[in-house]
């Protein structure tokens, strides 16, 4: 009797799964796949910037200043005659590096702190109050303070954006750990003598992966935007490194006679953030069993 039930359950499940898993994802989540494709394309283009860029992004060429888009300069030039397309290709690198670094760094730090807060009651009380304090610091003020204390660099930008993001991850991880540690299978694992590291790695952390991946994409998108704000305000990426934010900031002065300096980096920024957010939404729906059953 037991065999019948087992075979019935086991026999029906794998058949549809084998029929092109990728095809099914594309059909079910077309927006997510589109977002992913755009993002990957941008990343490839950014990585290949030295090969693709038609001009040196920081080469001054006063004769060609403020040229509108034409066959020589596809996206025009800025007030110093620098090629916009080349600058934007290099700028994409800054956005992606900062976004990725912030997403990774805040996830790792948030995971570590969140696990400790979720597991140890005393640490929880202390850590969470510190996190509440960190969340109260406006990111822009922190960036300005850090820039004032040190030299402007991409590392400082990453740090300035990461610090206010960490508490969000901590809260998420802590909530998951708190709910999972009450699960019977965690109690069972303790009862069979499972030590803390294994308990964490095998029983608790695997359950945090799905929400963390989704959260990381949102942090990525947010970090790209914040980097642009900070650079626009002059407290982000130093002006000698082209980034979309500082390209827009420089172009702002000439926007009435040279719209392309603001329009193209602005559009690129919007497309990148949108594609990351769409990817994140798709991942959330795909990884949440309740949502995926409905769609």
Minimum CB–partner distance for residue 219 and other proteins (Å): 25
Does the footprint of other proteins cover residue 153 (CB under 8 A)?
A: no
User: Residue count at the site for other proteins (CB under 8 A)?
Assistant: 24
Question: In whole angstroms, how close is the CB of 192 to other proteins at the nearest point?
Answer: 4
CB-based contacts of 250: which residues, under 8 Å, 6+ apart? 78, 79, 239, 261
- Determine, following the binding rule CB under 8 A, whether residue 190 of this chain makes contact with other proteins: yes
Rule CB under 8 A: is residue 16 a binding residue for other proteins? no
| Between 48 and 126, CB nearer to other proteins | 126
Q: Is the backbone of residue 66 left (phi > 0), alpha (psi -120 to 50) or beta?
A: left
The stretch near other proteins (CB under 8 A) out of 15-23, 185-193, 253-261, 280-288 is 185-193
CB of 18 to other proteins, least distance (A): 16
CB of 125 to other proteins, least distance (A): 9
| Under rule CB under 8 A, residue 129 binds other proteins | no
Instruction: Note whether 29 binds other proteins by CB under 8 A.
Output: no
* 12 touches other proteins (CB under 8 A): no
* Span from 111-119, 138-146, 159-167, 186-194 in contact with other proteins (CB under 8 A): 186-194
Binding residue for other proteins, selected from 29, 82, 203, 284, defined by CB under 8 A: 203
Closest to 246 measured CA to CA, from 234, 258, 259: 234
Judged by CB under 8 A, the stretch of 3-11, 105-113, 240-248, 256-264 that binds other proteins is 3-11
Chain contacts with other proteins (rule: CB under 8 A): 2-3, 5-6, 9-10, 13, 183-185, 187-195, 198, 202-203, 206-207
């Amino acid at each position: 009797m037991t065999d019948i039930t087992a075979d019935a359950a086991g026999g029906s499940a794998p058949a549809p799964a084998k029929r092109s898993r990728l095809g099914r994802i594309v059909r079910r989540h077309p927006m997510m796949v589109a977002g992913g494709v755009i993002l990957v394309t941008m990343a490839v283009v950014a990585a290949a910037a030295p090969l693709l860029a038609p001009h040196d992004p920081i080469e001054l060429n006063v004769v060609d200043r403020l040229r509108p888009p034409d066959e020589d300069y596809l996206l025009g030039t800025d007030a110093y005659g620098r090629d916009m397309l080349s600058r934007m290709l290099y700028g994409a690198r800054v956005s992606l590096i900062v976004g990725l670094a912030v997403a990774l760094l805040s996830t790792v730090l948030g995971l570590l702190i969140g696990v400790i807060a979720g597991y140890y009651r005393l640490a929880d009380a202390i850590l969470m109050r510190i996190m509440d304090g960190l969340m109260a610091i406006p990111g822009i003020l922190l960036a300005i303070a850090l820039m004032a204390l040190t030299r402007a660099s991409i590392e400082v930008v990453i740090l300035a954006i990461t610090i206010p993001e960490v508490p969000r991850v901590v809260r998420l991880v802590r909530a998951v750990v708190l709910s999972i540690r009450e699960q019977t299978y965690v109690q069972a694992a303790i009862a069979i003598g499972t030590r803390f590291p294994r308990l964490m790695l095998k029983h608790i952390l695997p359950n945090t992966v799905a929400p963390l991946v989704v959260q990381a994409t949102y942090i990525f998108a947010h970090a790209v935007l914040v980097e642009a704000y900070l650079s626009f305000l002059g407290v982000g990426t130093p002006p000698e490194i082209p980034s979309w934010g500082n390209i827009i900031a420089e172009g702002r002065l000439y926007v009435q006679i040279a719209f392309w300096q603001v329009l193209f980096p602005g559009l690129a920024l919007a497309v990148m953030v949108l594609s990351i957010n769409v990817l994140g939404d798709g991942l959330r729906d795909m990884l949440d069993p309740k949502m995926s059953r409905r769609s």
